[in-house]
A and B are shown apart, each in its own frame.
Chain A
Amino acid sequence: MSGEEFVPLSLTPLLIGICAAVACALPGNFLLLRRQALIGDAISHVVLPGIVVAFLLTGVISTWPMMLGAAGAAAVAVILIEAIRRLGRIEPGAAMGVVFTTMFAAGVLLLEQTDTSSVHLDVEHALYGNLESLIWLDATGWASLLDPKALAGLPPELPRIAVTLLAVALFIGLFWRPLKISTFDEGFARTIGIRTGALGLALVLVAAISAVAAFDAVGSIIVIAMFICPPAAARMMTNRLEAQIGWSVLFAVLSAVIGYVLAGYGPLWLGWADAVSAAGMIATVSGVILVLAAAFGPCRGRAGAPGTG
């Protein structure tokens, strides 16, 4: 395909998909090892009430209030889960289930109660996102990448998710050592003065931020899939955390690229006229990668013995 077609129509959605996938996969590695993989599930469900409340408060559909609302809802959910878990002495899975279903239900109810027919705000959009529509109309070809005027017309989702990815990577790079130690051995981490409670909360909040930023562009489904599938597949490839992170990034990028291409062009190859949901396809591809890793990964068995599946 030529640059005239690829750059305006496919480059930006592809880049946004890749950034979103990697931004979620990075913290996902630690959530997976901490047995908190489903936090991503909970966070992505509560994004809906967050943006609805933000819309009700401001009366407009604009990005920043909605992102803030979603982040606020994620923070509220995390605090509620922790409070219910401790106060009611309930296992974390059940506490999560109580909180995110209730908040999601509240979001749906609020949405039904308010007149949002005039604006683009609905449950389906929250779930699937709209990756395909994030095109770069000002671009005319590869040369546009150097053209400031064309660059000004980039879809704002791209810089947003890129900055988020950078921030997430910075957080993990900066706190690499404490994160690794406290994930492996929390008691020991405390004895050397690491504030494990605060660090754990920070990790969840960072995950929430990447979830919200990714959600803005690609919807909830990818968010959950990217939190879990690439790190889980990477877990079966290596016994070193550093390498696991590398594999998870690779798998996230592969899922985004293959998923996007299959969604856009797969139906054409099958002779159908229209593309299918890119977000759904990216999640599907990440699942296929996970299944392949589970079947053939060199470290898929427990306790690190290679090849004992």
Chain B
Amino acid sequence: MERYWNKTIETMNREQIQALQLEKLRATVQNVYTHVPYYRKKMQEKGIVPEDIKTLDNLSNLPITTKQDLRNTYPFGMFAVPMEDIIRIHASSGTTGKQTVVGYTRRDLDIWAECMARCLVMEDANTSSRVQIAYGYGLFTGGLGAHYGVEKLGATVIPASSGNTQRQITMLIDFGVTHLYCTPSYALNIAEVMREMGHTKDEMKLVAGSFGAEPWSNAIRTEIESLLGLRAHDIYGLSEIMGPAVSHECRHQNGLHIWEDCFIAEITNPDTGEPVREGEAGDLVITTINKEGIPLIRYKTRDICTLNYEPCECGRTHVRMSKPAGRTDDMLIIRGVNVFPSQIESALLSIGEVQPHYQILVDRVNNLDTLTIEIELNDEMFSDNVKGIEEFEKKVSRQINSVLGINAKIHLVEPKSIARSEGKAKRVIDRRNI
């Protein structure tokens, strides 16, 4: 039995979706042309006027928007409404440069909560569910974004925010929490601390959880599901587009449904920017068509994935994106080979003994890139003789080489020596100065 939050929208057929998207796209393009000088200029440079958008295919004629555009117009230059209508601001962390700022109108927040409520129903949440939000509350969209979706649904929200892990666990148990929201790395941290506190998953009533804000592999999914006794759903979003709930996995866990009444998704070739053939992997590009505060045309997310328009077993018709392998700016180029940290993670966890406590170090020694993977030793890998440990290191190194075609030096480190995550995990330390 599948349930929906908004059955009419979630199950409309392809023709209906496309008709709705075209109508909203034309309105959006007209809106930004009129109200955002930066977009008007960009469109004029390409010789396009809003009236040129006659079909959905015309979308590819519109200019691409990048994070740099948001930086160029920092802080509020891309807003399409006067500040009187903006009732909330969120911002990116700004770790890779100047932070990017987004603003929401009352209607934007309502649509966001609507998208989030649909995601919650996808994972069997209802008014009697108890949802603990262990994403950080604040400028980061994770905490508040999930929060208002739970309130919209009418379930009980526990606004735990991140950190204070022992207290998180006490609440999970004492409050009979059914749904957990946090980053996948923090979910693993919670599971580990739970074991140290002497608690088991049987003391909890968890049914499902939504884990996002960082790329994670199916191996981590298996780990989280078995340690916490829940079904782990991937949730996707980015502040520029809205925040979490741009897309979410249904119970079939076979791709994340993108809410197509709010977003138009395209995949482009990362090198040429041209649209790829259907089913091919490339850059996910999203146009927001149901947004007032900061509508974005063809925003390049830098996430690599594929799109699948096949109808889903769950009955929802909205397109599914594959689990993102990672952002293009997370991609490492090691001696000319493109590697996503998530691929390294999958290869590591395919070796049974390895637990997801690792760190990837990239250096440049004598003009050559070197990759070192630090892995925390555990009882299963430990041996009283050097040969046993070195053989284990070789086994991991061989696995990395056979899967990714690169050489990695494996460095075993002591238990608990790699920092545990309370938010987005820092798995990669790139010490190259390029």
Partners in one complex: no
